[in-house]
Chain A
């Protein structure tokens, strides 16, 4: 790898200016667990690396009932899963932050970086989608915001334009009787890339017997993580039963258009989408019931 300039701005405006100046010859650095390895592997060649960790707003994590949870793009995973509020309100997010890499990786890796890396198998992205997350983006033309599911546009590609940075993610406050869960399937029990992953969130009615609404997202089975909208919508108004879960799991397979590669086959991945969706739904429903 060629040497590059390292800069560590302390404001969003400065970061945007530094990123814009170098266009596609700049990269943002947060936890570095992807970008440093990719630089070393020759995935891209840059003139400037912009460290986002000195910008206060990108390190913030805050929660209020009105505004939900805001997670700065440079907040490492361990801060998320060790936070008592997140543990209580967003167990689905804890699932995701807790299974990225090993403890060493979790000490550095961020949700923001995982999203910006935009890998089809990105381990937290379906969870962010199922939780209804939105992305807060700053750029030369000001700020904009969009749902997480609209962020990734292809393997390693996303909506960020030259000069734009991800500031943070926002998740609405969980509704009453709601629950979410994320899981993945890997051949080992740790330190692995998902063959498939799935996240689900559900809102139950007051009886906790019926599903009011659901969101399902799946990963590693298409060029980007995908919302399984039809599968989720089909749960609305249904009993929170094994039969409904089974139907949703089968329906979720429809969004899968995976490839054969060293990590898994098309058949295996489509099958796993069904299995993982069902398992995620079971846990999400159980959490919604307060079990």
Chain B
């Protein structure tokens, strides 16, 4: 395999492999079409399943008659929620949200009620996908249509229509805490309150107070690969599932719970994943395909259409956020307060808590108060989306800070730097910040040539913002190292590769073993072939799975030291591993290269295979940022992005190209969220734009090149200093673009997306007010 020039490492000299840009190991399969994704699986005898979905956003299911569909030639079986044992014998527990398998099952096939347009109601399996689809029209569902609770406003009004008869509000004071049931019925699932100091006192000390309200809409992750899986239920009860997912062990657990069978009977085989961004942490089709396979005795494949992806899978929350900040005339914050409402969709569990804990945490605040509400409404149950919950709250906070900077006549980065949190300062959670490079990122933004470059034309302005996220994680990763006789190494993990994590993990192994990246072959394997591994999310794979692989590699070194000791008739402690060589401490002339010793393993006791698991977590928080130059067409309201720069503290870049890729890709998604993307619902809760034509994701012509500034402020919790790269880059584009457009039209933007129509309205409002 060709290796790209070693340009970064040469400049830096700290590492041999980390910081270089080798070609990814799974690349050739992906550029030739050989790589197999979820829908590329086709076993002999495969049948095809399709899902019937609710045409109504809110209705009671009186009855389902599947007899006509079952009688159609080509149709082999039909499934409904009655086929899910968990729905019959498990209590609803709203506090667990979709961790509660009963609710998960209901989301996969509705029980007594449909709670959003597109909610799965039944499924048909037939000999071809077209036949299955035709048969859906023959299923007769008798619905009692109920009034639609279209969003948080309707959900939280007095005497609202209720989605769940037994849902009561929980009060919680920390993200991890399930909280106390207040017994108050409604559509509010939980209220999280975080407090630092006394916010009233803080505001009383302020010279200036700004308080503004912000709105964002429901948006989708927009992965290009729709959900797809194949299930094969063997007669003796063993179930194999081939699927495109962010977490094979998560799928195994969910399917086991919903179908009430032991995990030991299920093997989940990962296919390549065509994008997930958090949205493929949870499957929807697997339990349904499994039931259909059990009923037919044949493998069943299910693939969603794009419309089903929009209507029937989890998007991210629409939100309403009120942000209040008090400051001294010199810019020092005295207090900050957030009131945040996040739409959870049909079942509790919006990413509100993530936003609540991170929203203000980049800043040093003695007094802060955050009230967050998780609210159900008749929209698809939300799922994670890249830095879940953060872009919404960051849009509010960073827009508010920008406006405050204008009020104080301060440079917006100076205002941030003045208030930046340092190691030991308490985040809004009350937990002191660990080793974080917040100031370093802010100073890098301010020092970047883009920050002060001429704008180069009329109707242009520059916007800047930062985005903090305290990465989740700690769910654990396993890795196995196999040393081959030719001195190369296989590293086996259970971490689905969404973005180039195979190469990033392999490079860490190569760094440990003194090998080249090409000498390490990474494999992602099924649930029977590797130790338990949490899903690929929380920006944790390069960090957690990397650390597990490093630990396994170190075990391999120890075993190989034993072998060298055996050959030299020494003890293990007498052999050291230096610069890729095993060297005798007793006689430095005695040495093996890694390859030489690998070739002698069979003769010294057999092959070396070592496994390790890492459950410590610790990927930690980090800051990202963006600068955008925009040009606004004053006649049409169209916003064009003229120049874009992304910033991220990555601790230490494993593979800089894939770090840049995360920064550029996150920036793209943030741009889409900021400017054009939204679910457009009719009054009765039907998504009107459920296609890639009208759900407007950015095209090649909507973006300039995206320059990247990687900041490396080492993370002490990783042997090589790595932090996470995946999520932060989506956060700051929302406020940075809002700030840019606000400055370009001299009128503040408080609502996303900033469509041409909304910009025209803002311009008209400005002109009407004569400002």
Residues of chain A touching chain B, judged by Cβ–Cβ distance below 8 Å, are 1-3, 185, 187-193, 195, 261-265, 268, 271-272, 275
Contacts and interface: CB of A to CB of B under 8 A. Distances in A.
B134 interface: yes
B596 interface: no
Report which residue of B636, B675, B700, B701 has the largest number of chain A beta carbons within 10 angstroms of its beta carbon.
Answer: B636
Contacts of A2: 134
A124 B133 CA distance: 34
Contacts of B140: none
Nearest to B693: A193
B593 interface: no
A272 B689 contact: no
B539 to A, nearest CB: 29
Interface string B666-704: 000000000110001000000011000110101111100
Contact of A189 (B130, B701, B757, B760): B701
Given A262-B680, A275-B636, 17 more contacts: A2-B134, A187-B676, A187-B756, A188-B699, A188-B701, A190-B699, A190-B700, A190-B701, A190-B702, A191-B693, A191-B699, A192-B696, A193-B693, A195-B756, A195-B757, A268-B757, A271-B760
A208 to B, nearest CB: 26
A150 to B, nearest CB: 28
A10 B689 CA distance: 39
Contacts of B696: 187-188, 192
Given A187-B676, A264-B757, A275-B635, A192 B688 contact: no
Contacts of A261: 688
A2 B680 CA distance: 30
Nearest to B692: A191
A195 B759 CA distance: 15
A165 B250 CA distance: 55
Interface string B30-45: 0000000000000000
Given A262-B689, A263-B694, A187 B699 contact: no
Contacts of A272: 636
A12 B558 CA distance: 81
A57 to B, nearest CB: 32
Contact of B698 (A1, A188, A195, A271): A188
Contacts of B757: 195, 264-265, 268
Interface of B: 130, 133-134, 635-638, 640, 675-676, 680, 688-689, 693-694, 696, 698-702, 755-757, 760
B287 to A, nearest CB: 27
A187 B693 contact: no
In order of increasing CB-CB distance, the 9 nearest A-B pairs are: A262-B680, A189-B701, A268-B757, A262-B688, A190-B701, A275-B635, A262-B689, A190-B699, A188-B696
Contacts of A262: 680, 688-689, 694
Nearest to B703: A189
Count chain B CB atoms within 10 A of each CB in A3, A187, A193, A261 and give the residue with the most.
A187
Contacts of B699: 188-191
Given A263-B694, A275-B636, A1 B133 contact: yes
Nearest to B137: A42
Most buried by A among B133, B693, B757: B757
Contacts of A268: 637, 756-757, 760
B768 to A, nearest CB: 13
A1 B130 CA distance: 7
Contacts of B134: 1-2
Nearest to B700: A190
Contacts of A264: 757
A262 B688 CA distance: 7
A-side interface mostly: loop
B756 A185 contact: yes
23 contacts: A1-B133, A2-B134, A187-B638, A187-B675, A187-B696, A187-B755, A188-B676, A188-B696, A188-B698, A188-B701, A188-B702, A189-B640, A189-B701, A190-B700, A192-B696, A193-B693, A195-B757, A262-B680, A263-B694, A265-B757, A268-B757, A268-B760, A275-B635
A189 B702 contact: yes
A275 B640 CA distance: 18
A190 B698 CA distance: 9
A214 B641 CA distance: 36
Nearest to A42: B137
A263 B636 CA distance: 14
A190 B699 CA distance: 7
Contacts of A189: 640, 699, 701-702
Contacts of A271: 760
Contacts of A190: 699-702
Nearest to B637: A268
A231 B382 CA distance: 49
A264 B699 CA distance: 20
Nearest to A265: B757
Contacts of B637: 268
A263 B675 CA distance: 14
Contacts of B693: 191-193
Contacts of B638: 185, 187
A261 B676 CA distance: 15
B130 A193 contact: no
B675 to A, nearest CB: 8
B150 to A, nearest CB: 15
A140 B637 CA distance: 49
Contact of A193 (B636, B675, B694, B755): B694
Contacts of B755: 187
A185 B636 CA distance: 8
Nearest to A102: B699
A150 B719 CA distance: 74
A263 B760 CA distance: 14
A178 B714 CA distance: 67
